Chain A
């Protein structure tokens, strides 16, 4: 088991090093931060000197080595754009993104699971076919369109929900939450719905497929034969048996929701990590971009590693496999 753990962790570290390396290879093409940092009247000599001091004249491998050496000690430097420590910048935005992603995940489960069950049980009925059709729209509409439509309807037409921002937040230690204030809760509604749209469809289709599978199995037939009420058969026996893949997929997808929340965050000016990253790209803020990519890949790698370790705990065959 210990060997397996060490292997998995070594794998994870390797993946992160590769991600950082690719990031640094990309940075050569994103532009020159110095041109954006100084103003029009700065002379060429002053520009060259600043570039030298920032270490931008070093070769790419050297810059990469410096970055990794500092990052191992937890030092990501300070942002070119707003001169804050990169780690505290990201730590500030982290709660906003997590709150949004968790809320979207909850919405997707609360809405997606019942819809999946209904479309499976009432297969062929007009309303379940209609739901199936609507779900295709849910997958194919880009999330910024959904966001802008929600803003148009609920902010501009009915004027009941805010179009942007996070409302008032309360800080608990280093964590900030909008859940404890009325304006914070109101501000969370539209962005989390926009972010959950795609996820709802995914959960619904997964539950439907699993349900259809389970409903054909013997124990459901026996339960029916025994006279167990239909709702108990569906919601207690059958549903419980198809939740396992749903839970796994939801957990794994939290990583991609964090990464892809950046579109929703841009539309709603949600002060999360994605918005920070988008702005870092426009300003060629290399320290922030590098740290963000590392942290998001860390979240992905950590989630995957956790899932692998859990599977190994459950399934002894994986532990002994020479993987």
Chain B
């Protein structure tokens, strides 16, 4: 088995002719994709990369609005059935036609019990073919967010899956490799020419794409470069044309280089801090965080602007609510950060009799930007108002166990509302009372029946305006009760070489190179 030459044998001889030419985009990414199979691992980055190769029934346009892709129109029928009309004349990269069978087969694959991505289609029940270009999708109940979910469900060719014995998702527990892990056959603007994991994945343009291309690329050479310093060096020396992660500390250097262009924005992800709501702290002491006044005092004691200016180098966006402005359900009226008032905080803590209250803040050092520095700043700010916080810092894989077990008195938390792009995502998974179906990330163990009622009402409200109003109401309770303290939206920075004419950068931080143009 050691001698088994997998895909290397076929792809090792790379192409010399076009490398570095004007229409090749050399993409230096901070990490590799996990697999060529979009249904393999719950990774937003992998799915967004594979969106160059595979497509869904609907997609987001340049304004983050949902528009038709492989489906042209849809309607909601009685009994929770959604009917989709499919686009005619779409072909897979291997030449097969895209039809209703492909949709049925793809949905069956992604919703199979072994699929790590089945959570992306929470309301799905079944799909049936009506005719070659019409599909009915049945849901378990009234559910307004099907289209949002479908933007990330990529379509496979049914015949191709069958021929390669891949109709079921790859199951890691069975210890057998799957064909789509190394091969791809989508309908998208690019097809996969070769892939060597951790070294290079090459995409070439699909001339038979159904849509009119806005890009002028011929090839995309995707190379992961995990080390920040090396990635910056590669950009400065002209070895890559694009990176979706320019390190914040190197931005001044990159901006000063004439051949490099930096694009900055704020992410959809909101960074916040949560509290333990259980009766006892992790150390067995009584828990003052159960009092709303205590949580408010903590909010007053933290100088968010100082963290923005000193720790985040002025590049983050301070926020008063737990979702970013681009997320439907966001309410500008709630987005008022708590004003810094340490004296008031100290007085409130005194009144509660919580002076010298000792607790642990659990942070990771490898997830959010400058997280360790933020947590250190918090410790000193909270110490100043009479509390006794200690900091526990470590890699995410270790810290997350404490957080999920409810052993973290205060913890850092980030939520982007991906892939749904709707505030319902955070309400359901973070703020609803923990149960089998909801509150997976309800790490503190909070429970507000009134809030649950609003969230459940939103989950079945088909009228968008009414639904978003319900979500905003729910977010108001989150804010009024200070369940979590919103901090900021992280900065994100892309950088391109001067060979790139234009790149579309949206706040979901996904590269969409079917919209990228290079200088001729």
Contacts and interface: CB of A to CB of B under 8 A. Distances in A.
Interface stretch (B48-56, B62-70, B418-426, B489-497): B418-426
A55 B173 contact: yes
A168 B4 CA distance: 21
Interface residues of B, number: 81
Nearest to B238: A159
Interface in A53-91: 53-55, 74-75, 77-85, 87-89, 91
B87 interface: no
Interface in B231-252: 231, 233-234, 236-239
Contact of A31 (B5, B28, B395): B395
Contacts of A165: 199-200, 223, 225
B341 interface: no
Contact of A92 (B8, B239, B420): B8
A276 B199 CA distance: 11
A205 interface: no
A82 B397 contact: no
Measured as residues with beta carbon below 8 angstroms from the partner, the interface class of chain A is 35 or more
Given A46-B119, A54-B172, A269-B226, A164 B234 contact: yes
B237 A155 contact: yes
Interface string B1-30: 111111011001110100000000000100
Interface string B155-181: 000000000000000111101111001
B122 interface: yes
Contacts of B199: 165-166, 269, 271
Contacts of B140: none
Interface stretch (A36-44, A117-125, A252-260): A36-44
30 contacts: A31-B396, A31-B397, A32-B404, A35-B397, A39-B119, A40-B119, A40-B418, A42-B440, A44-B439, A53-B173, A81-B41, A83-B37, A83-B177, A85-B4, A85-B6, A91-B3, A91-B4, A152-B233, A156-B237, A165-B223, A165-B225, A168-B12, A168-B13, A168-B14, A171-B12, A173-B3, A271-B196, A271-B199, A276-B198, A279-B32
Counting from the closest, the 5 A-B pairs by CB-CB distance are A31-B397, A39-B42, A42-B119, A174-B5, A41-B119
Given A32-B404, A163-B239, A282-B366, 10 more contacts: A35-B397, A38-B117, A41-B429, A45-B437, A53-B171, A84-B181, A91-B3, A164-B239, A275-B226, A278-B226
Interface of B: 1-6, 8-9, 12-14, 16, 28, 32, 34-35, 37, 40-44, 113-114, 116-120, 122, 170-173, 175-178, 181-182, 196-200, 223-227, 229-231, 233-234, 236-239, 366, 395-398, 400-401, 404, 415, 418-420, 425, 429, 434-441
